[in-house]
Amino acid sequence: MKLTLSALLLLAVLPAGAAVNFRTQVWPILAKSCVDCHRAPHKDSAGKMVEPKGRLRLDGAGSIMKGGADGDAVVAGDPDKSSVYQRILLPPDHEDVMPPKDKGKLLGFDDSELIKQWIIEGASFGDWKGADDGAGAAVVKKPAKAADPLAAGAGPAPEAAKEAVRKLGALVTSVVTDSPLLRVEWVSGASMVTDKEITTLLPIAGNISELDLSDTKITDEALTTIGKFPRLTWLNLNNTAITDAGVAHLKTLTNLSYLNLHSTNVSDTALTSLTPLRKLRQVYLWKTRVTPASATKFAKSIPDLNVTLE
């Protein structure tokens, strides 16, 4: 096997044989270096509407594949045709380089190689969806203010409360433009998040519909707080120290449809707490103590439920 220099360097960056994971490897790079300028239209601190630069949004899988003013941003399998990759490769003083000259630190070699490798491998987003109003909204025009029954009764989240959560390093975004429903995730610094930080979410408990706590330092204690989030539909607890006792606090989350318990210590007991959650459609149980027999039984106990054990 002949390896080019860049392939050799890449091997140093990637664990042998592992495919690049968008959510854990590529998204943190985009979130940190690109999304500020390339995200859903939003108001700035002066109340002025800010549109995504170059009409390109990089905050959702659909929008990334939709591209921007100049067309495709990512062409699966072809980094040379993917402007996302081409723009980060430009020399630092080039007028088209991203992030723009003097507007942010250029990506390091490892980061750009990861993005390139992700494109070569087919630009898969795995279970990551991000903001889902981008491409969808443009292609399938959603009826204006399509009544999301879940949003009914939810007032807008107080700005100060959202700001307090952002100060903890979280990315707080509307799940759909103008929706009071929020997605909260830690794209970097997840390891600094403990049960204490989770209590800061309480003032916006009625607004949070998607919550990504993967790789954080939370314990069962945090789940007593999260059990009070009435509009939660999507919860990722991958690689946290939670146990069956904590999962028991989730039985109040009747809107939950996605639950990721991958790489946790939960066992068959946790599944009994989840059976009342009739809207569950996807539960990830890979690298847990759940037995195949219980997983199968659980999958059959709720209509249309998909359970992934491995």
Interface residues with ligand HEC (CB under 6 A) are: 33-34, 36-38, 53-54, 56, 67-70, 73, 83-84, 87-88, 96, 98-100, 103-104, 107
- As measured in angstroms, the least distance from the Cβ of 298 to ligand HEC is 41
Of 83 and 238, which has the nearer Cβ to ligand HEC? Answer: 83
Of 63 and 294, which has the nearer Cβ to ligand HEC? Answer: 63
DSSP per-residue letters across 237-256: -TT----HHHHGGGGG-TT-
Of 98 and 193, which has the nearer Cβ to ligand HEC? Answer: 98
- As measured in angstroms, the least distance from the Cβ of 73 to ligand HEC is 5
Of 106 and 202, which has the nearer Cβ to ligand HEC? Answer: 106
Of 185 and 244, which has the nearer Cβ to ligand HEC? Answer: 185
- Render the burial of 202-239: b for 16+ CB within 10 Å, e for the rest: eebbbbbbbbbbbbbbbbbbbbbbbbebbbbbbbbbbb
Q: Are 284 and 262 in contact (CB under 8 A)?
A: yes
Binning the chain into helix, strand and coil, the percentages to the nearest 5 are 35, 10, 55
- As measured in angstroms, the least distance from the Cβ of 103 to ligand HEC is 4
Ramachandran category for residue 212: left, alpha or beta (phi over 0 → left; psi -120 to 50 → alpha):
beta
Of 75 and 88, which has the nearer Cβ to ligand HEC? Answer: 88
Q: Are 234 and 258 in contact (CB under 8 A)?
A: yes
- As measured in angstroms, the least distance from the Cβ of 101 to ligand HEC is 10
Contacts of 36 (CB under 8 A, 6+ apart): none
- As measured in angstroms, the least distance from the Cβ of 115 to ligand HEC is 8
Q: How far, CA to CA in Å, does 254 sit from each of 36, 60, 293, 304? A: 33, 26, 25, 15
- As measured in angstroms, the least distance from the Cβ of 136 to ligand HEC is 19
Q: How far apart are CA 193 and CA 214, in angstroms?
A: 10
